[in-house]
Structure 1
Amino acid sequence: MYADDRDGLLGVYRRDLATGKETALATGGRVHPALSPDGKRLACLDMTGRLVVRDLDTGTERVLADPLGGGGIPGRPSWSPDGRLLALCDRNRLNLRFREGYNLIRVVDAADAATGDARLHAVAPHTSVADRYDSGPVWSPDGRWMAVIVESALCVLPVAPDGSPRGELRTLTTEPADHPTWSGDSRTLLYLSGAKLRLIGVDGGHARTVRVPLDQRRPAPADTVVHAGRLWDGTGDTVREDVDIVVRGGRVAAVEPHRASRGGTLRRVDASDRTVLPGLWDTHTHPWQSTYGGRQTAGQLTYGITTAVSLGGFAHEQARLREAVATGQLAGPRLLTTGELLDGGRVAYSMGRAHRTRAGLRRSLERAAQLDWDFVKTYVRAPSWVMEEAARFAHERLGVRSGSHFLSPGIQSGQDLTTHLQATQRAEFGHATTASGRAYDDVTEIYSARGARFAMIATPFTSAPLLGADPGLADDPRVTAVMAPWDAAAVVKGAGTPPTAAQLATLRRETDIYRRILAAGGLVALGTDQPLVPVGLSLHLGLRALHRGGLSPVEALRTVTVLPARLFGVADDLGTVEAGKVADLTVVDGDPFTDFTSLVRTVAVLRGGVPYETDDLVSAFPKATRHAHEGPDWLKVGRLMRRDGCCDPGV
């Protein structure tokens, strides 16, 4: 049993291993499936995190419980052995001022949802389940235990038949652990430890590795020549005309004047009436395939994005996506991965990893090394020792950057950047802007100080009203066909209202800060925080905002090409179009150096020499599939999915 998005939204399917026959069990946006012990009922979550049970004989569904809050959906449900109860991980909220709370075990009566809300159990006092993805609880077949991940270790909690704890939490592993499951006799647990599959007895003791021979091949891209009518290579301000970009083995072999007589077996890409740029970056994303499916990655390509930086998500899911893209199984941009948000004992997002102990943080960082993270991010309730140790580990063990929401104490903790100009935080002294959106000289000076090497990822949510200045953006097939329906609905709504003078003034105040930092020699890379905002399109709204704010087309484009490559330490391979570098190219139907709004018309990309045509990607998501799912108010669905977010996306 598994979930995929073959009909446009994620659904649950069952495959008969003997015959190969596949059956749709629940469609229209259903994830985290779990079959009842008798196989007659399916528990799963809808896109807003509601716990749903479907009778497989009659096809009827009942909503048993709404999620306790936002910040991502709850964890995967688990049935009690007798099929009367369901347990899942959900988060409480301790006050109205701050979003954070504890990841708890929530037990819901499968027959009577009315009793579900009050049945919340902590795994231990003031302690959270690690995250709300696949960290448990998982009920043992004999009903005596629930397996959970706490402090990134595998633990078991003795429970009564009603799911309430009847003893203390027991830690089974000293190594990092994820994704626990039980053997049929309840004596053994299977779990992931970094990149290894491991088995351990319920009484603890020595764990052993289950060998799973896996290999993968990265397909070699065909040698290609791209005939560019205009080329901005990212190395300066000059736009060259009528040039050939020769690509061999996925890298740029030469950039030369066009030769119509060029021979050989090179594949040809005709961009003779178009503009070619270095592949665009989105330096603040969150891979969210658990609700978006393939729409997120494909959607980014359609808007010219060839490299996406994850700034938080589920670690093993990101490793899967990175491999799937690299091996050609998934159409998407190159993914630089971050694991979960390393946080304190309370968390907000489902992707927040809770820590109260140094041993727990050590395990989380060890799995970061095993899964080869490209960035390490701490979050809002992480104490200073977590921030400092995470930065030290990122630099010394991984050789990568570290960052957070905090300008201060981020820089004092040894971090390298902030992931926004201003976002949620608890320390009042750390705010980079005033309530009216202004920043003073100390902020500019920190980001631009000689030798400080402290950078910013800008996420101008205030650019969202620019949709209303160009309402035709909502009619683009990349919106109507590729975007998730809740994002498309938000775009249509935003496009229907022109920006007000007050909104444009707020936007200008923000972009003035970025302009000042760049002018003083600081490094600002552009990101979006998608999917908090519509995927792909939001990067172009941010670029338009920077251009409106006084940056030239070249200066704006550097924030999504040269500067992010430098920030993430890969400037030797990415960011410009030069011989020897990876062939990441974005093809624009227009000339953004004379008409910057044409930049959004990205018609093709090369990612590592592999071509993707926007029309081909769009055609994989026929518009008709969206309307097959009647009923949901997609604007409402989108608001529920984004509630308790860190920032105001404006749409």
Structure 2
Amino acid sequence: MSISPFRRFARAALVGVLAVSPLTAAASAQAAERTVTVAEGTNLAVTVSPRDGTVVFDLQGQLFSIPREGGDATPVGDDRLDPFWPVFSPDGRELAIQSYADGMFHIAVVAPDGSAVRQLTFGEHDDLQPAWSPDGTKIAFSSDRAGRAEIWTVDVRSGETRQITRGGAPKSQPTWAPDGGSIAYAAGFTIDSVDLATGAVRTVVPAAKAFLGAPSWSPDGRTLAFLRSGAEGRTLMVSESGTVRQVGTYTDVFPFPARWLSAHELIYGANGRIAVSDTLTGAAREVPFSATFTLDRDRYQRKAHDFDSRKPRQARGIAGPALSPDGRAVVFKALNDLWLLPIGDKPRRLTHDQFSEWDPVWSPDGKSIAYASDKAGTEDLYVLDVASGQEKRATSLPGAEVSPAWSPDGKKLAFEDQEGGLFTVDLAGGAVTRVLKPLTTPGRPSWSPDGKFLTLTVSAGQRNQILLVDVTAGTSRTIEPSPYGSVSTRGDDGPVWSPDGHWLAFSQDSVITLLPVDATGAPTGPSRRVTDEASDAPSWSGDSKTLLYLHNGTLRLTTVDGDAPRDVPLDLTFAQDQPTGGLVIHAGRLWDGRHREARTDVDIIVVGNRVKRIEPHREDRQRAGWQFVDASKLTVTPGLVDMHNHQEMQAKFFGDRQGRLLLSYGITTTRSTGDPAYRALEDREALTSGDRIGPRFFMTGEMLEGSRVSWEFARPVRDERQLTLEMSRARELGYDVIKTYQRFRNDWQAEVTEQAHEFGVPTTSHYLYPAVSHGVDMKEHLAGPSRWGFGFSHEGSLSGPYEDVIQLAARGGMPFSSTLFSSSSLLADDPAMVTDPRLRALYTGTQQQALHAKLLCAQGKGPCGFLDGTPERARKDVDVIKRLLAAGGVVLAGTDAPLDSTAVGLHLNLRSMAKYGVDPFQVLQSATLLSARQLGVERDLGSVEEGKLADLVFTEGDASHDVNRLMDVRMVVKNGKLHTVDELTAPFRTPPPGASK
């Protein structure tokens, strides 16, 4: 097999690192091959050859073929074709598919044996759901190439495309009438048809109280088969002469067109099977199949974690650096404080407290720094005089104010609130003016030199585009950073307006890019790159000649002309925070995480940060030099792990409260599944050094995404050159995991996994297959959103997953995270959870309101949100978990917080599993020992055993048998340090002195 350009670049980049890596050739990743054979499929699509009756079906994104009567399946093509919606040509010589092989959905044709792949459509569009014309010369498809979903056709020989429909409801899932004169399609609640000669549109199937889709004309053109999705499930229907009736008894018909075997016989996927139904007699049969997957599961040496050394480490978590107007100093956040670095000198702390500071920015005259801090309870803006150290508070609104930006005259700050609204505050009088209503997680604002405009990054058209805001008029417009391009992230990556007004600087494709603009921000020419290495967080000098940026944890300077970069030396180190004393903990009950039954009346002796001994309790122990902890009426368990958390997503608004909240609920370890890289690294280093209170943090950077992006913590990747940069960032910043997201290509996912394993780091994604075949370590969610949207998943259908999912996950050794949003329905069982004193002290007002809304939903007293669940949904979700566990699979407790309720969500996940039938022992291990094993730290974490790290939770009741008692936390030990819940909540139970909120 030829080596991809990415592979060659990445190999070259790794040479220097591997020279000093603990990995050896013998310990490098080695593939362990496994085979898994299944006879059921989840959301499989079926098509039949008109030549010989061969059945081809898409199972887990892999095409298989079987004889018409069924049997052992033969793979068609390899698993990187990423096919979808297969359909045979009228002559049976080719299959049309919707393929994602190149990073966008395009229409392609392939021979029935998987050879001779030929792509028909191209460009930065999604072309979906192919349907052959009766004469085989054209393929109809749905596409967004006109800005919305319309029906198009492509000529199979010439590749010429033609738009067929215009206006009205979005259109999808076309089917060609047998006479070739019209195309029917789904239009939401109706099925319509367009006459190709006249353009006239008529409704074929009128609206009903259900969604209609996947139409398919019979060979004689008299009958239209389609799917109806409603409360009864998804059923197969036919419409003939205005009469609509159901075909077959299946209620989980998979969302693809049924294919006609004759004028009255249909073949389709449903309830895990390939079904055939006769529309005249009602007779039904199934076509049996047996499909075998071959999986390569890597064995590799995991990254080493040193939890004990006090050796100084270089701080690389530099968040939001800003170059001073004179170009002589840098201000930034690191180790939970703000720092001032005179270039060529040593840094000094500007703040030194437990609170959280964010987004430092220089005033135009270089004399002051504005920043956000939660020192008064929630995030407010402050202005610090650099020379005197004196500061004043600039805002005191309810909620949070973040992302300050100085106006050119130094009289105002622009800022954003917790909802994404854009404001200005007059520094002299304190008047606050709203500029724009809330946006979806925008980037930080930057002023034009004349003070008339603000620019920031926003989500628009599934890309990170540049918003230009007229401050006086309150109007805005978006521009592309380049055709179909995105700013790298909606965070610290710009755009930043140059002081002379000629440029917008931002990171795009992970390098610093300059866009020439006029006084209004309108582009005056194409953008150009000024760096060629992984580059983030640009800021300007006052003369608009110099740019500061971050390269893999190092501050660098370049010029507007793109001169060779030079390092800004930063001598800033930290050491792990390690206790020096010892604890003697008298535990009334100890569930150690490894054994089913708890031990009683024991002493846990902790020396430094590790458990030294566990012995029967003795009243006569020597007390001198020890801290004694009376937990004789409590149960001690290992610290809990949240395996799916976006810890930086609301960190600006949480501030110092987030870590305290997690610990107060017994969560001593979190694992990120996508966060802004430098903010995540700063968090991990601050927690490690003890400068911030909170759990251990296994971090990652932005999720690696395709060219279309939704979340602010995803990073769009457009080519192999950039992918090499992403791997350099992951390696040099020391990621603990790499996550690839929805629209990331399958072949790139395989390459990333191989590279990550070479430096000991696991990968994860939202996909089971082919990820499990390519060594990806874990899957997030039982059935999460995918590149096909929220409404479809290869891992779940209306009736849940079938045996293909269960067996591939269990026998393939791919753990799933739980992320049971449906578990919020359990709030109705214990409404007091919502008024817990910990939440009153440590949740933001917005979070308290959101959790209360979930309670009202669970009680049937209020509307339910998109992610809220029902008891029935929770029961079904846990049934999937039970099936996975019964098959030998692994499910790990995770929440997707803060999309779900931070801290509370983990306990709801655990309670939901226990309530609906998972063994409490398995429930507890999902958040302790099994999670530690997946993190690669089972020797140090996950259980209470001699020699392991002292991460302990103290609860009322017997949590080893009653999972509900896990929430009754009284104390927690993290890394050998004892914290009581009262101590953790104290700073925020009463507003700090001088606070007005």
Aligned match for 1:89, one of 457, 481, 484 = 457
Distance 2:596 2:689 in 1: 35
| Deviation at residue 355 of structure 1 after TM alignment | 1.2
Counting only pairs closer than 5 Å after superposition, residues 112-123 of structure 1 correspond to structure 2 as: 112-113=473-474, 115-116=475-476, 119-123=477-481
Q: Which residue of 2 aligns with 1:109?
A: 470
Distance 1:336 1:629 in 2: 36
| Deviation at residue 201 of structure 1 after TM alignment | 1.2
Q: Which residue of 1 aligns with 2:863?
A: none
Distance 1:309 1:629 in 2: 35
Distance 2:858 2:456 in 1: 43
Q: Name the SS for the 1:38 alignment partner.
A: coil
Q: What code does the residue aligned with 2:922 have?
A: E
Q: Which residue of 2 aligns with 1:639?
A: none
Tell me if structure 1 keeps the 8 A contact 2:377–2:991. Answer: no
Tell me if structure 2 keeps the 8 A contact 1:90–1:106. Answer: yes
CA deviation vs aligned residue, 1:115-165 (integer Å, no higher than 9, x gap) = 31xx21111111101010011101111111111101111111111111111
Counting only pairs closer than 5 Å after superposition, residues 224-303 of structure 1 correspond to structure 2 as: 224-263=583-622, 264-288=624-648, 289-303=651-665
Tell me if structure 2 keeps the 8 A contact 1:605–1:611. Answer: yes
Tell me if structure 2 keeps the 8 A contact 1:81–1:141. Answer: yes
Distance 1:629 1:66 in 2: 25
Tell me if structure 2 keeps the 8 A contact 1:480–1:623. Answer: no
**Counterpart check, 1:533 vs 2:892:** no
| Deviation at residue 408 of structure 1 after TM alignment | 2.5
Distance 1:312 1:624 in 2: 32
User: Given the superposition, is the C-alpha separation of residues 304 and 255 from structure 1 closer, same or farther in structure 2, using an over 3 Å criterion?
Assistant: same
Tell me if structure 2 keeps the 8 A contact 1:158–1:168. Answer: yes
Q: What code does the residue aligned with 2:738 have?
A: V
TM-score (norm 2): 0.60
Range 335-344 or range 164-173, more displaced: 164-173
CA deviation vs aligned residue, 1:618-648 (integer Å, no higher than 9, x gap) = 11212668xx888xxxxxxxxxxxxxxxxxx
**Counterpart check, 1:596 vs 2:957:** no
Tell me if structure 1 keeps the 8 A contact 2:371–2:381. Answer: yes
Tell me if structure 2 keeps the 8 A contact 1:420–1:457. Answer: yes
Q: Which residue of 2 aligns with 1:586?
A: 953
Tell me if structure 2 keeps the 8 A contact 1:456–1:523. Answer: yes
Q: What code does the residue aligned with 1:455 have?
A: P
Q: What code does the residue aligned with 1:456 have?
A: F
**Counterpart check, 1:220 vs 2:578:** yes
Q: Name the SS for the 1:39 alignment partner.
A: coil
**Counterpart check, 1:433 vs 2:796:** yes
Q: Which residue of 1 aligns with 2:382?
A: 13
Q: Name the SS for the 2:722 alignment partner.
A: helix
Counting only pairs closer than 5 Å after superposition, residues 443-462 of structure 1 correspond to structure 2 as: 443-449=805-811, 452-462=812-822
**Counterpart check, 1:39 vs 2:413:** no
Range 594-603 or range 333-342, more displaced: 594-603
User: Given the superposition, is the C-alpha separation of residues 381 and 488 from structure 1 closer, same or farther in structure 2, using an over 3 Å criterion?
Assistant: same
| Deviation at residue 352 of structure 1 after TM alignment | 1.1
Q: Which residue of 2 aligns with 1:646?
A: none
Q: Which residue of 1 aligns with 2:764?
A: 403
| Deviation at residue 219 of structure 1 after TM alignment | 2.9
| Deviation at residue 413 of structure 1 after TM alignment | 3.9
User: Given the superposition, is the C-alpha separation of residues 594 and 561 from structure 1 closer, same or farther in structure 2, using an over 3 Å criterion?
Assistant: closer
Q: Name the SS for the 2:573 alignment partner.
A: coil
CA deviation vs aligned residue, 1:364-393 (integer Å, no higher than 9, x gap) = 221111110001001111122332222122
Aligned match for 1:353, one of 705, 715, 732 = 715
**Structure with higher strand content:** 2
Q: Name the SS for the 1:204 alignment partner.
A: coil
User: Given the superposition, is the C-alpha separation of residues 493 and 168 from structure 1 closer, same or farther in structure 2, using an over 3 Å criterion?
Assistant: closer
Aligned match for 1:520, one of 883, 887, 891 = 887
Q: Name the SS for the 1:489 alignment partner.
A: helix
Q: Which residue of 1 aligns with 2:778?
A: 417
CA deviation vs aligned residue, 1:393-449 (integer Å, no higher than 9, x gap) = 22112x12111111233223431111111111124874211135x121111111110
Segments of 5+ residues of structure 1 without an aligned counterpart are: 94-100, 631-651
CA deviation vs aligned residue, 1:321-375 (integer Å, no higher than 9, x gap) = 1111111111100000010011011110111101111111211221111110001
Q: What code does the residue aligned with 1:470 have?
A: D
CA deviation vs aligned residue, 1:529-563 (integer Å, no higher than 9, x gap) = 11112211111111100101212322210000011
Distance 1:390 1:299 in 2: 34
Q: What code does the residue aligned with 1:146 have?
A: L
**Once the two structures are aligned, what percentage of the paired residues are identical?**
40
TM-score (norm 1): 0.91
Q: How many residues align?
A: 612
Tell me if structure 2 keeps the 8 A contact 1:285–1:530. Answer: yes
Range 328-337 or range 417-426, more displaced: 417-426
Q: What code does the residue aligned with 2:430 have?
A: G
Distance 1:409 1:25 in 2: 53
Q: Which residue of 2 aligns with 1:633?
A: none
| Deviation at residue 498 of structure 1 after TM alignment | 5.1
Distance 1:475 1:623 in 2: 17
Q: What code does the residue aligned with 1:79 have?
A: W
Q: Name the SS for the 2:922 alignment partner.
A: helix
Q: Which residue of 1 aligns with 2:942?
A: 575
Segments of 5+ residues of structure 2 without an aligned counterpart are: 1-369, 861-868
Q: Name the SS for the 2:758 alignment partner.
A: helix
Q: Which residue of 2 aligns with 1:634?
A: none
Counting only pairs closer than 5 Å after superposition, residues 484-503 of structure 1 correspond to structure 2 as: 484-496=844-856, 503=870
Tell me if structure 2 keeps the 8 A contact 1:89–1:106. Answer: yes
| Deviation at residue 208 of structure 1 after TM alignment | 0.7
Range 194-203 or range 18-27, more displaced: 18-27
Counting only pairs closer than 5 Å after superposition, residues 23-102 of structure 1 correspond to structure 2 as: 23-28=392-397, 29-68=400-439, 70=440, 73-93=441-461, 101-102=462-463
**Counterpart check, 1:210 vs 2:568:** yes
Distance 1:11 1:283 in 2: 31
| Deviation at residue 8 of structure 1 after TM alignment | 2.1
Which of 1 and 2 has greater Rg? 2
Distance 1:444 1:75 in 2: 41
Q: Which residue of 1 aligns with 2:91?
A: none
Tell me if structure 2 keeps the 8 A contact 1:341–1:351. Answer: yes
Aligned match for 1:560, one of 906, 927, 950 = 927
Distance 2:652 2:769 in 1: 33
CA deviation vs aligned residue, 1:292-339 (integer Å, no higher than 9, x gap) = 212222111110000000111110001111111111111100000010
| Deviation at residue 217 of structure 1 after TM alignment | 2.7
**Counterpart check, 1:335 vs 2:731:** no
Counting only pairs closer than 5 Å after superposition, residues 473-484 of structure 1 correspond to structure 2 as: 473-484=833-844
RMSD: 1.9
Tell me if structure 2 keeps the 8 A contact 1:407–1:430. Answer: no
| Deviation at residue 67 of structure 1 after TM alignment | 4.7
Q: Name the SS for the 2:772 alignment partner.
A: coil
Range 24-33 or range 185-194, more displaced: 24-33
| Deviation at residue 218 of structure 1 after TM alignment | 2.5
Q: What code does the residue aligned with 2:621 have?
A: R
Q: Name the SS for the 2:989 alignment partner.
A: coil
**Structure with higher helix content:** 1
Q: Name the SS for the 2:879 alignment partner.
A: helix
Distance 2:528 2:920 in 1: 58
Q: Name the SS for the 1:465 alignment partner.
A: helix
Tell me if structure 2 keeps the 8 A contact 1:67–1:90. Answer: no
Q: Which residue of 2 aligns with 1:184?
A: 542
| Deviation at residue 249 of structure 1 after TM alignment | 2.3
CA deviation vs aligned residue, 1:85-113 (integer Å, no higher than 9, x gap) = 111011113xxxxxxx1111111011111
Q: Name the SS for the 2:764 alignment partner.
A: strand
User: Given the superposition, is the C-alpha separation of residues 27 and 383 from structure 1 closer, same or farther in structure 2, using an over 3 Å criterion?
Assistant: farther
Q: What code does the residue aligned with 1:317 have?
A: R
CA deviation vs aligned residue, 1:201-256 (integer Å, no higher than 9, x gap) = 11112111111111113232122121111001111112000111111120111111
Distance 1:387 1:614 in 2: 42
Distance 1:299 1:344 in 2: 34
